[in-house]
Amino acid sequence: MTTITAHRVVSSRAARTTAFDRALLQAASALDAFVATRLERRADAARRRSVAVQDAAAGARSAAEARAAIGVLPR
């Protein structure tokens, strides 16, 4: 869940945001950040290595596709 805080809403039927509403949004945002950080820390090293290898392979493939699009073949 992602939240965006708005201090002022510009509309003909403007909804008023109170300090309490903003505090709730900020608390939700802080909780989201805490959970995301915790999940990143709990991810094991093998999973991180696996994702890194997959990203490297995807990067190499996209680079090869870009070269092929302009007619450059690998050696």
At which residue do the structure tokens 């493939």 appear? Answer: 61
56 phi and psi, to 5 degrees? -65, -40
Find the angle CA(65)-CA(69)-CA(71) to the nearest 5 degrees: 110
Q: Where are the alpha helices (DSSP H) in the chain?
A: 19-42, 45-69
Mean pLDDT score across all residues of the chain: 82
Query: For residue range 13-51, what is the model confidence (pLDDT) as tens digits?
Result: 666 778 898 899 999 999 999 999 888 877 777 788 888
pTM, rounded to two decimals? 0.41
Residues 6+ apart with CB under 8 A from 7: 17, 22
